[in-house]
Amino acid sequence: MTRALDDSDLLDDPIELFRRWFDEAARTGMPQVNAMTLATVDAAGRPSARTVLLKGVDDRGFQFFTNYESRKAGELAANPHAALVFLWIPLERQVRIAGDVVRLPAEESDAYFATRPRGSQVGAWASEQSRPIAERDELERRWQELEERYGHGRVPRPEHWGGYLVVPREIEFWQGRENRLHDRFAYTPAIGGGWQRTRLQP
């Protein structure tokens, strides 16, 4: 599907425009519209990337959750900046976000953890994310032991698990066009508040 992205299609607030694009992607029925590439850099400047799920967006920025002892968390501790990419192929759209990363308050992580399926809650305790393990049986045995330990009661959030907020300093909207003459608009913070918008060449 090829379409134009003109100034008349844009909003002053890129967060609101992202929400509009996200909702339009969701209406296509494509799976996992909240999947995003998260790119981080370690203390030596070596980049790495992986796909995670967006779990919330508000005026502050973009939220995701993970193990605070994982590789990505270690890289964010050393270099608290990241980039996100959303790609919605049926719409020929991409959104790229770059910004600073901070941990969400514990109460927000608690609130989200309580909404997760019970198996995923237990899994957050069972997996030492990013660390080597000899066999899968060991991981499944650990999960079963924890499931029995908590029985039918509440599974508390592990202290080593919680949320991050990517506070954007640039948000770019990309719309595919014919002949690779794509439409691109970048939003950056404006002096005095708000956002300034710039059209970029493809």
116 labelled ligand-binding: yes
130 labelled ligand-binding: yes
Catalytic residue among 136, 154, 169, 180: 180
Tokens of 5: 């992205």
Whether 149 is catalytic is: no
CA gap 131, 113 in Å, rounded: 22
DSSP state letter for 148: H
Return the amino acid letter for 3.
R
71 labelled ligand-binding: yes
5 labelled ligand-binding: no
120 labelled ligand-binding: yes
Show the DSSP H helices in the chain as ranges. 14-27, 71-78, 106-113, 118-126, 136-150
What is the phi/psi pair of residue 132, to 5°? -65, 155
51 labelled ligand-binding: yes
65 labelled ligand-binding: yes
Residue set of the binding site for FMN: 50-55, 65-66, 71-72, 94, 129-130, 174, 184
Task: Supply the residues annotated as catalytic.
Answer: 180
Residue set of the binding site for substrate: 55, 112, 116, 120, 180-182
Residue set of the binding site: 50-55, 65-66, 71-72, 94, 112, 116, 120, 129-130, 174, 180-182, 184
